[in-house]
Chain A
Amino acid sequence: MTIPKLTTSDQLIGAALCVGYVMVLVWTAPDLTMSRDESFYAHAAKDYGAWVAELLNNPASALSREHIDRAWDYNWEHPAWMKLTFAWGWLVHQKLGVFSSESLAFRFPGMLTAGLLLWLIYAWGAVTMGRRGALFAALAFAMLPRVFYHSHLAAFDVPIAFFTTLTAYAYWRALSDRRWALFAGLFFGFALATKHNSWMLPGIFLIHYLWVRRQYALADRLDRPTVSWLPSMLVLGPIVLIATWPWVWHHTSSRLLAYAQFHLRHVHYTYEYLGVSYFEPPFPISVPFVMTLFTVPLTIVVLALIGLVYRRAVLAPPWKTKRGNATDTKADVLWLGCLAAPLLAIALPSSPVFGGTKHWITAYPFLALFAGWGFVAVVGLATHTLSAQRRWPAWAFAALCLAPGLAQTAHSHPFGLSHYTPIAGGVPGAADLGMNRQFWGFTTGSLADWLVETLPDGGTVWTCDTTWGAWKMMQADQRLPSNIRPARSMAQADLVLVHHEPHFNEVDFQAWMAFDDVQPMYVLTYDGVPIISVYQDRR
């Protein structure tokens, strides 16, 4: 099978999507306080960055086991690749001051992966469904509210979505062009070195490969796809993982085992879903599907379903293939695998209780690609009714279909994780339904100006789910003055923050006891739904 080459125009469109998205992310990032996990990764990145600096100045010392262990011990439960890029962002910022804030220095590499992911979605879409569908898919992905939130962060979720998609693309290319096998292995290595979601990729690829091989065999095709991607992934993947993660350079097997066990026996988070705060398995099977329905604009969900129906012939199982049938390397089957696997993994009753859409965010590039097919299908079917001779009706239709995502994404900022789409009744409807309100304590950023105004002479704040690292980053970013300090003990603070989630109710009641007062001084709301209550010591 010959895959069409991307034209220069296509590359320019992809690059424009990438640069444009990164610019929007940089512009909107100051509104978002560092989330809980980001603050841990920024801490780790500083440790790793200091080690990198030592490596450049005194390699022998840096490479000693003691120095490696000291620098890489923190946050050993996640591989190092993205944290290394955050460290580079920070080192560059330290030397050159190129970023407008310290948090942006850590976040920029993650933003870059978000931009590159748009480029990749566009590129893959362009070679399979043409420019129009590809552009629609990339823009649809960019305008998913939760994706937009996660794209800002110095975290691993959008980066793993990028590396998953990139590895899948390289694998798919490798089926018909052996030279891509090397890239498949290399990119898989970076996926492994980014987050453990990557562990499922070989399984998805193997199923897809056997599917395609069977079809080729039944069709009596002689030019069967190569399996060279598999040894490449099996060899290069672990090499890249280990090479980018000095923590496992010593005690390699035991530390890798500990890493695997950490995630296979992951603690359960408490997560509210349809009025129940789950804290132990089984988590309802419906979670990833309902959360997708409630957080992805409905128009995109509908178009993705139309895209799946439209491509049903291509998605037909291999045993329906007849001798002499035309067949190819089935990008759609691969996309369906990459879309379904993360959702099903979370849906398994034995999976740890997570809940956040970020845990299956790797599915969404493929959801967007199917939405691209859906758009192509609808426009194609409407040739009689949408005036096929003119381009503008199709573009207008695209704009109409993308407008809900744009409006919802714009409105979701900076409350990304608290946002729900109209099918859930919006934010208040989701509160009625008992859906998770937030996590990670990131909403404190929306209080920064109020805190400055309320504590003009400084004071102490008990920061609830916002970590001290995140708080200090707000100070480093000059969103808060240094004299508004985090308090260790609630009763000794001037102000107490309570991030509203049902299982944080106990913290609310602690605040009542701390100040002998049940009246919040201020309630930060989003579409009328309480996000943070602030209590003041009025005694």
Chain B
Amino acid sequence: MEDPGRKSSLAAWVWVLVAAVAVFELVAHPVIRAGVPSGDLWEDAAAFVRERFEPTDRIVAAPRWVDPIVRSYLGDLLSARSASVSDLAGVGRVWEVGVRGATRRSESPALEESFGGVRVRMWPVVTDELLFDFVEEIDRAEVDLFTEEGIQLCPWMQAKVRGGGLGHGPLPPPQRFVCDPARPWLWVGATVMADLDLEPRRCVWQHPAGREPVRATFRDVPFGDKLVAHGGLDYNNERTAGNIAVRLRIFIDDRLAGEMRHQDRDGWSRLEIDTTRLNGTTHQVRIETTAAKSHARTFCWSASTRRGQGER
């Protein structure tokens, strides 16, 4: 049987529980703040990476939310491409600069060093050899709009970069192919886009004009054993689940080699074309985008030819 006296005497000690909660908050607050690495520690960690950095290395932040801090210390070693790759192709080593014990890789690193709360880890990685990066070579392409009236060339030009802001999508580069000044979104060029997961993607903006394809043609592309492409829509459109698919078609020497049909919410999608039979040769590659309707089909793609069987 329950003892009321014992119950009330226990209740009399509730204040201890409340006081303990208050003490926990009072202690936890400075403890959390004390765990924040100082600028000096970030400097030391950055110097450690900088001394050992090689051009094919990639630097990542862990957790992802410290990425701006990592870039503020080591961003001069990064390009828009290396900060926003689709996979690890062409990368020799991955450096991870992190706090709070966070990591982006599960395996043991080849090198690890701690600078107070900042931890540097490094992994050598075996990845595909990158032979030709279409995004970085976009200025070598020929771009046209295939219409019923014929082929309309899109000249490569220096154009003004305007705007920016939430919901505006990727910013165009100052040099790009301009297909129709009356349709300011109808340009082709290398940019960085936020994908469905809000990750940066270095890619070629090639917004479909409708059913008539926008085409980017590359000559003398060296081939390995595969051509890997990725594609997706800008976050603002990708997330809305519309029903107009974008088709990305890749032609090698005018023959359809691969196709991606991209629906909203597919996210940053991968297409791999086996090119073993073309290994060691050069060919013309044409990349086309179409959609039943052009509205809000903010499509961007990346592609490369590669050799090897490395990790992604």
Contacts and interface: CB of A to CB of B under 8 A. Distances in A.
Contact of B164 (A299, A408, A514): A514
B166 interface: yes
Given A382-B15, A528-B99, A522 B72 contact: yes
Interface string A366-397: 00000000100111011111100000000001
12 contacts: A381-B14, A385-B12, A397-B18, A428-B36, A464-B165, A489-B162, A491-B164, A500-B68, A504-B166, A507-B166, A510-B164, A528-B99
Interface in B181-204: 191-194, 198-200
Interface in A463-507: 464-465, 489-491, 496, 498, 500, 502-507
Interface string B131-150: 00000000000000000000
B236 A432 contact: no
Given A279-B239, A381-B14, A385-B15, A422 B28 contact: yes
Interface residues of B, number: 69
A503 B191 CA distance: 18
A425 B234 CA distance: 33
A336 B53 CA distance: 60
A429 B32 contact: yes
B171 A510 contact: yes
B104 interface: no
A3 interface: no
B83 to A, nearest CB: 5
A372 B36 CA distance: 34
A243 interface: no
Interface stretch (A114-122, A183-191, A196-204, A399-407): A399-407
Given A302-B18, A421-B25, A505-B200, 11 more contacts: A381-B11, A381-B14, A385-B15, A403-B26, A404-B29, A411-B29, A425-B32, A428-B99, A489-B161, A506-B194, A521-B72
Contact of B161 (A464, A503, A513, A521): A513
Contacts of A503: 166, 198, 235
A39 to B, nearest CB: 16
B178 to A, nearest CB: 16
A234 interface: no
Of the four ranges (under 10, 10 to 19, 20 to 34, 35 or more), the interface on chain A belongs to 35 or more
Contacts of A385: 12-13, 15-16
Interface of B: 8-9, 11-19, 21-26, 28-29, 32-33, 35-37, 63, 65-69, 71-72, 74-76, 78-80, 83-84, 99-100, 102, 160-174, 191-194, 198-200, 234-236, 239
B36 A507 contact: no
A306 interface: yes
A510 B165 CA distance: 8
A404 B72 contact: no
A413 to B, nearest CB: 14
A465 B102 CA distance: 29
Interface string A397-440: 10011011001100100000000011101111101100000000
A448 interface: no
A506 B78 contact: no
Contacts of B199: 505
B19 A507 contact: no
Nearest to B84: A509
A502 B69 contact: no
B33 A431 contact: no
